[in-house]
Chains A and B, each alone.
Chain A
Amino acid sequence: MTLLSVQNLRAYYQTQAYGISRTVRAVDGISFDLLPNEVYGVAGESSCGKTTLIKVISGNAKPPLKVLEGSVNYTFGERTVDMLRISQSELRRNVRWKQISYVMQGSMSVLNPVRKVIKTFQDIVDTHEHIKNKNEFLERTRTHINRLGLPAEVLNAYPHQLSGGMRQRVAIALATVFQPALIIADEPTTALDVVVQRGVLQMIRDIQAMSSNTVLLVTHDMAVHANVADRVMIMYAGRIAEEAPTESIFNAPLHPYTQHLINSLPVIGEKSTKASLKGSPPNLADPPSGCRFHPRCPFVMDECRTVVPDLVSVKERHRVACHLVKEDSL
């Protein structure tokens, strides 16, 4: 049983200005499944296509972003939803927020600065479930807020009266009013200090444990994945480099890029200098041939320059795309 099945997804940004067309291959052939009741982490450096991937699977792809190929299929209990073909009104009425909700990047500023927090709740609830009884709505929202450990007073505050961490929590509370099957959280802890980060992560964990839904957690911060995620996908330049249960990713990374990511994490007490990868992330308008990581890879072979490595399963639930690793070689 899968909640979401993404097959061979290609989504490019296609722009045209002054007769020059430009294609940025932000998501280039990605396949993965999301299971019910898990926290799935997506990691990768900036501009590797993480946010683009989320936009497509949440049904928010707008020009110049265009899906060229692939499928995005959800299964919500009895119902199946093809995200690439669903009508906008159907998406708005039955899927958004009820089944899939979204904690945006920069969530701290998602609240309307000139209206009270409760009004934002009201707008969102009213959009999906016409509010008939205002008192009942207020009562329900208060219960929801309290259940997430937030004081009910935040509802009557204006966004500028709340701290950044509090606003982030309100954004998460907003995303979970309908107890959706999938919560997509894009960089929910970025720009927060570590103490507040911990609180926010704990809250995400609690919500997930309480309602057994799936959380798709996107962040470049490996420490966050180590703490929260059940499985982690490592993206590099619009493709999946490696996907495995969190423990395997941290204890036995197979892809050279993942190895570098893990090795660069600081360890308490260690004093050695961390080696940094040479080079910089590739330009997705003109990505390298073969394996996209080859210009920066310390183990580069001739094959890497020309042949795109397949994403192969090496162990149970462990997939990696690297010519060094052959199927079932371990």
Chain B
Amino acid sequence: MRKFILRYLIPRIIQYLALIFIGVTVTYIIPRLAPTDPVEAQVSMMIARGSSLDPESIEAMSTALTELYGLSGSPVEQYFTFWGRLFRGDLGPSLGNFPTPVSKMIGQALPYTLRLLIPAVIISFILGNFFGAMSSYYPENKAFNVIEVLGQAVRSIPYYVVAIVLLVVFSYFIPIFPFSGAYPIGTHPNWHSLAFIRTYIEHAVLPAATLVLVGFGGWFVGMKSLTSNIISEDYVVYAETAGLRKNRILTQYIIRTAMLPQLTALAMSLGTVFSGALIMEVVFGYPGIGSLAIRAVYSNDYSMIMGITIYSIIGVATAVFFMDLLYPFFDPRVRYQ
């Protein structure tokens, strides 16, 4: 156990922290290399709106904004202030929705994204892998062949097109699902009312279905190519020669080995959930991280973009870190001796 902590756990924790550090630093540097100056942009926006300001008050406002945005001092000083604020969970004020803090806005949007994306990713993962394995193990089965063709077809369509098609069909021609949003406009989220939860789920069905449909094809193809290699492995042929039951071969010999790379991929896609599903959220008017990110890009709100990027970096790094820790339970070959 001590050896495990020293040689397996600690190096991975260090790796995890280093990954986040590098990622956040890069996120810090890139917007600062951009030719736009947010202070100047803000000031000129005010002037453009028609407020007549004398040079002194413009000067004063610039200083105030520079201070507020954390842009005062040399780049190195700014960098340290930035980390200091980050440790306090302060991502700075949103420049688009000044002065609401970025962390508060992300905090509001994140639950919508997570409640939508996590179930969608997991459902498409389970369905895609199951059908992928079945279709390569039973290549003669007609039903699986049909599913394969459909999965491939949907996968090759851009997901926003799938989203629009679903919207048109199920909200317009057959109006069984609402058009947009996470709940009807004018209602207040009330998690104690079953009726609210029902409308909430109704609003989530189409966006989730889009993600499941599109994700399904990806998992399906991945699993199928993995298993089609595994079914010709010696140990599978041997198990068949020895007369083992098909179910046993499929679960214990084929799916079990094919799952390993798929689990890593699952961790990655769960990690990227934190950056939302950009265009999908826009199409469905879903108030999640994706919508937030799009608005931030349009309004040059780079403290918001940075905030979302940092969440995403931490999300992916954490998911991969946990996968690294869990992997030995699934694959004895990487177990630390």
Contacts and interface: CB of A to CB of B under 8 A. Distances in A.
Looking at B239, B243, B260, B331, the one whose CB has the most chain A CB atoms below 10 A away is B243
B244 A111 contact: no
Contacts of B330: 114
B333 A106 contact: no
Looking at B237, B248, B332, the one whose CB has the most chain A CB atoms below 10 A away is B332
A116 B252 CA distance: 12
Contact of B243 (A106, A109, A128): A128
Interface stretch (A12-20, A96-104, A208-216): A96-104
B243 A113 contact: no
B333 A160 contact: yes
A92 interface: yes
B253 interface: yes
A321 to B, nearest CB: 31
Interface in B140-177: none
A123 B256 contact: no
Contacts, number: 66
Looking at A93, A113, A160, the one whose CB has the most chain B CB atoms below 10 A away is A113
Contact of B332 (A58, A104, A107, A114): A114
B242 A97 contact: yes
Nearest to A157: B332
B322 interface: no
A102 B234 CA distance: 13
A112 interface: yes
A92 B243 contact: yes
Q: How large is the interface on B (under 10, 10 to 19, 20 to 34, 35 or more residues)?
A: 20 to 34
Contacts of A150: none
A327 B235 CA distance: 46
A127 interface: yes
B335 to A, nearest CB: 8
B88 interface: no
A137 interface: no
A262 interface: no
Contacts of A66: none
Interface string B243-257: 111001000110011
Contacts of A113: 235, 257, 332-333
B243 A110 contact: no
Contacts of B233: 109
Contact of A124 (B234, B242, B257, B331): B242
Contact of B241 (A60, A106, A116, A123): A60
A315 interface: no
Interface in B175-218: none
B238 A110 contact: yes
A114 B235 CA distance: 11
A123 B260 CA distance: 22
B248 A112 contact: no
Contacts of A101: 242
A114 B260 CA distance: 10
A104 B234 CA distance: 8
Interface string B261-291: 0000000000000000000000000000000
B241 A102 contact: yes
A158 interface: yes
Given A112-B253, A115-B252, A158-B332, A96 B241 contact: yes
A56 to B, nearest CB: 13
Contacts of B243: 91-93, 96-97, 127-128
A123 B333 contact: no
Nearest to B233: A109
Contacts of A174: 242
Looking at B234, B238, B330, B333, the one whose CB has the most chain A CB atoms below 10 A away is B238
Contacts of A91: 243
Given A97-B242, A160-B333, A110 B252 contact: no
Interface string B296-334: 000000000000000000000000000000000011110
A101 B238 CA distance: 11
Contacts of A109: 233-235
Contact of B237 (A58, A104, A115, A116): A104
B242 A111 contact: no
Contacts of A106: 234
Nearest to A158: B332
Interface in A222-273: none
A123 B237 contact: no
Contacts of A107: 234
Interface of A: 58, 60, 91-93, 96-97, 101-102, 104, 106-107, 109-116, 119, 123-124, 127-128, 158, 160, 174
28 contacts: A58-B241, A60-B241, A92-B243, A96-B241, A96-B242, A102-B241, A102-B242, A104-B241, A109-B233, A109-B234, A109-B235, A110-B235, A112-B256, A113-B257, A113-B332, A113-B333, A114-B330, A115-B252, A115-B256, A116-B332, A119-B252, A123-B244, A123-B252, A124-B244, A127-B242, A127-B243, A127-B248, A160-B332
Given A110-B237, A119-B252, A123-B244, 8 more contacts: A106-B234, A110-B238, A111-B235, A112-B252, A114-B330, A114-B331, A160-B333, A174-B242
